[in-house]
């Protein structure tokens, strides 16, 4: 789900666009293939869900939006984000509260 990367951490996310509210739902999958499941209020049209995910992750981890980058999965529900300026320990600690 999370891995250390140059300059930050990568986070695997499973998006659920069109949710009633934006927020962490839980995890999707198991083991090394596990992803953080996040419901997104925005529809998956014209990149709106991706933008909403960037904003939500920035808020969740206390980062500026320009420190959250979608690096794969632009047209898929399974996405990988690069979070710059946080450590693996910081992300693991915060995610432990949500999952």
CATH at 39: 3.30.1200.10
Strand positions, DSSP E, the chain? 2-5, 8-17, 23-28, 35-40, 68-72, 78-84
Number of domains into which the chain is organized: 1
pLDDT tens-digit map of 18-71: 999 999 998 898 887 889 999 999 998 999 999 999 999 999 999 999 999 999
- Rounded Cα distance between 65 and 55, Å, is 6
Query: What is the residue range of 78's domain?
Result: 2-98
Three-state secondary-structure class, residue 10:
strand
pLDDT beyond 70 at 98: no
**Predicted TM-score (pTM) above 0.85:** yes
CA angle 86, 68, 57 (to 5 degrees): 85
Beta bridge partners of 27: 36
């Amino acid at each position: 789900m999370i891995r250390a990367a140059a300059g930050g951490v990568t986070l695997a996310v499973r998006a659920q666009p069109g949710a009633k509210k934006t927020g962490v739902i839980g995890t999707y999958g198991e083991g090394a293939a596990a992803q953080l499941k996040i419901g997104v209020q925005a529809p998956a049209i014209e990149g709106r869900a991706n933008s909403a995910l960037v904003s939500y992750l920035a808020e969740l981890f206390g980062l500026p939006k320009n420190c959250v980058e979608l690096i794969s999965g632009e047209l898929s529900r399974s996405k990988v984000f690069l979070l710059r300026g946080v450590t693996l320990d910081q992300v693991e600690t915060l995610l432990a509260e949500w999952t």
